[in-house]
Every structure is written in structure tokens, then in C-alpha cells.
Amino acid sequence: MSVITATSAAPPLHLPRSGTRPRVAMMVRSSNAVSAASILTKLRNDCATPLPLLRQVSDAMAADMRLRSQDDPQLRRFPSHRELFNFIASKLAKFVDKEGGKFESPQGRTREVGFTFSFAVKQTSINSGVLIKWTKGFAVSGTEGRDVVACLNEAMRRQGLNMRVSALVHCHSCCGLVCKHLYWDDDVMVAVILGTGTNACYVERVDNIPKLRVPKSAGGSTIFEKTISGMYLGEIVRRVLHRMAEDATLFGDSIPEKLQMPFSLKISNVCTMQQDSSKDLEVVGSILYDVAGVNSNLESRKIVVVDICETIAKRGGRLAGAGIVGILQKMEGDSKGAVFGKRTVVAMDGGLYEHYPEYRGQLQDAVTELLGPEISKNAIVQHSKDGSGIGAALLAATNSIYQH
């Protein structure tokens, strides 16, 4: 990665100073600054999520679910499926060593494991499933078409572990999340994961769940997920900053090289910048320099960056809230009015939801606005930390071959 030298400074934006950080660039004097302000204004307009729009999203999602029932970042890569599952098994072995034998199985028994696998699989039983396709940047050679449970069982044997997988939990970990939360609360009907990716599951009649037997094109897929999930929000912010650097010379006469790298800006960076309350937005400046190669000491430009972060996070949170309401509306229609009239819990998990309070607040606001003050009192959106992992363990216990 190249070392970036400072570029010539762009003309300053003149902003009014007050006790609160200004949200809009005012009193602009340069043509470049006007261009930056106009881009930001257009972004805000394009990302606006007024109540009528959110209602269209939630209604469309509920309708789509009813119709269905009627009919490049590089994450850690392993050279082969063997190395991948050896890695997982080695972590299990370290966990067992750390336990110090406190939970060893009785003589003649094999310890049972719940396996959370957040990728598309064709599940043929509770403890077997063939990987259909990798997503979210993973591409491990030779894994697609294999039974991932068998792969892990073999890897555990190679590690000398007396273990077997008794439950495979997929659907992006949402099923495990529902099971974990249901263990404590009978009113849980929906589970949502908001992290690197996003997915949701809810309680549905079996005869309403169709099996898709036709191939689906990947082109233009998961658009909704890309507007609300952690893997993409940072990239959206980076692209807006790149556009401003290119069209409005926001950071100088040239575009910083690091800023041109896809997925160089992470959602954790976006969250930290939005929360920056330091003098002169020093944290924002530090992140821009370290991550994007931007050397800008002008507070006015940092304010623009924070505004972009807020705009993208607000849209993402509110759209996610609309998606939750869409699920609840579908369930309400199927039950002929038996959902909104009683306490219904939506279990939430995922790093984005847990660690980004501003995003979380926008989600809750959208749910409240769409359902109204009375109905929203019965719709409880509740965090459930590590729900998928604990839920997988509970499913493994219920499917134990040693049950009495």
C-alpha cells in the first residue's frame, strides 16, 4: 500500500459556529464548495425515508412474503475446505483445553455440538446440509456441494476430539436466535440478524413455505440487504466521499489513493466518526488519515463527512425498521388480527445492531412510527447477545441421541 503525501488544500468552507455542530454547510464562497454542498443535499434527498416511503417498503415486503408462500471485500480465505474446518476444529480443541475437563462426557458418550453456519445450504436433516454457495466474501475451494456437517465431524476427529454435530443451524443464524430467545420468552415470534449481513426468520405455517427449485440469478441481488447491513454501509460512505473528492475536490486537487480502495472504510469507522464529540472532530480526522489516506485539518470538511455518515446510517436503520414491520404485518394478516393485539417480541442480534446506537435508534423510531403509538407498545424489539450460538447449543441438546 502506498504512502500518501499531502495534497494541496482545497478552498475552505465557511460554516457558522454555535454550541452544536452545524449539520449543513452555509455561507459557501467557492464553486468547489458549492458542488460539495449540492452533492450532500442530493444525497440527503435520495436517502430520505419519510413515513409514506417506509410504509411502502413494509407493505411491499408483507405482500411479497404472502406471494412467496402462495407459490468485493475479501474476508479470511482458506485454500480448501479441509483447512477451513481444521481451523474451526482447532478452536474447539483450544476451548476444550481451557475447560480443563470440567464438562467431559460420561464414559462411552460423544460430546454433542450445535453448528451455526450462516451460508446457503440444502439441509436434508437436522444434522446434515450441503453448501449451495458461499457469500459475504468467502470463497473456499472445494466446499460447495459438500456436507458441511460431515466436513466438521471429520476435522474434529483429526483433532482427536470426542465430538459430533447433532444440530446444524443456518438461515443466517436467525433460527438459532429464535430458539435461544424462546427458551426465556414464549412471546418471541421474529428474529433478526443485523451484522455483516442481515436476515430474519419468523414463525410460519409449514404449508406456507415453498421450496424453490429454479436457479436464481445473482445479478442485482440482495439490494435491500446492501442498504442496511454492516458490510456495505461503510462502502456506501466511501463511495460518496470518493464522489465528493472527484467532483468537488473535497480533500484537495487529487483523490487520495486509499480512498479509491473498495471496502477500505468499515462500518466501525462510520460509527466512530458519527459519535465523535472531540474538539475540532479530531477522531474523524484521524480515521480519515489512517483509513482513507485523507489529510484534512479543516473542521468544515470533517462536518461534511459526519453528515454523510449520519445520512447513510439513518436510511439504513429506518429501512431495517420497515422490514421488521413488514414481517409483523404479514403475520398479522395470516393470524387474522392475533399479532398486533398481544405482546410480540422481535429478537435482535448482530454487531451492527449491538454496537451502533444511532442506527439502533433509527430502527426503533421507524417501527414506532409505522405501527403507531398503541400497537408499537406490543411490538418489543429486544437485543439477544450471541443468540445464534446459544440457540444452536439448545437445538443440539434437543436432538441429543442420549435423551431419556
Cβ contacts of 207-214, under 8 Å, gap ≥ 24: 208/69, 208/334, 209/69, 210/68, 210/69, 210/71
Please state the pTM of the whole predicted model.
0.70
Asked if the model's pLDDT at residue 318 lies above 80, the reply is yes
Between 62 and 260, whose confidence is greater?
260
Predicted confidence (pLDDT) per residue in 122-135, tens digit? 888 888 999 988 87
Parts of the chain belonging to CATH 3.30.420.40 = 80-94+109-170
The per-residue pLDDT for 16 is 36
Of 22, 31, 25, which Cα lies nearest the Cα of 13?
25
Predicted confidence (pLDDT) per residue in 363-378, tens digit? 999 999 999 999 999 9
Least confident of 35-49, 114-128, 321-335, 384-398: 384-398
Q: What is the mean pLDDT of residues 86-111?
A: 85
- pLDDT, mean over the chain: 80
Q: The C-alpha cell of 141 is what? A: 475451494
Cβ(245)–Cβ(255) below 8 Å: yes
Whole-angstrom CA distances from 353 to 87, 124, 134, 363 are: 28, 32, 24, 9
Between 252 and 352, whose confidence is greater?
352
Please state, in angstroms and rounded to a whole number, the distance separating the CA atoms of residues 192 and 199: 6
Predicted confidence (pLDDT) per residue in 170-179, tens digit? 654 566 667 7
The CATH topology of domain 80-94+109-170 is Nucleotidyltransferase; domain 5 (3.30.420)
Q: Percentage of the chain surpassing pLDDT 90?
A: 40
Asked if the model's pLDDT at residue 249 lies above 80, the reply is yes
Which residue bears the cell 412474503?
A: 65
The model's confidence at residue 74, banded by pLDDT at 50, 70 and 90, is very low
Q: What is the mean pLDDT of residues 378-395?
A: 77
CB-count burial class (<10 Å; 0-12, 13-18, 19+) for 20? exposed
The model's confidence at residue 338, banded by pLDDT at 50, 70 and 90, is confident
- Rounded to a whole number of angstroms, the CA Rg of the chain reads 24
Between 18 and 263, whose confidence is greater?
263
Asked if the model's pLDDT at residue 154 lies above 70, the reply is yes
Instruction: Write the CATH number of the domain with boundaries 20-72+171-211+219-385.
Output: 3.40.367.20
Q: The C-alpha cell of 346 is what? A: 422481535
Helix axes 81-99, 148-158, angle to 10 degrees: 60
Between 252 and 173, whose confidence is greater?
252
Q: The C-alpha cell of 34 is what? A: 458549492
Predicted confidence (pLDDT) per residue in 38-48, tens digit? 999 999 999 99
Asked if the model's pLDDT at residue 329 lies above 80, the reply is yes
The per-residue pLDDT for 100 is 78
The per-residue pLDDT for 176 is 66
The model's confidence at residue 148, banded by pLDDT at 50, 70 and 90, is very high
Q: Percentage of the chain surpassing pLDDT 70?
A: 77
Residue 254 backbone dihedrals phi, psi, to 5 degrees: -130, 160
Please state, in angstroms and rounded to a whole number, the distance separating the CA atoms of residues 401 and 397: 9
Please state, in angstroms and rounded to a whole number, the distance separating the CA atoms of residues 66 and 70: 6
Asked if the model's pLDDT at residue 278 lies above 70, the reply is yes
CB proximity list for 362: less than 8 A, separation 6 or greater: 313, 314, 316, 317, 318, 321
Parts of the chain belonging to CATH 3.40.367.20 = 20-72+171-211+219-385
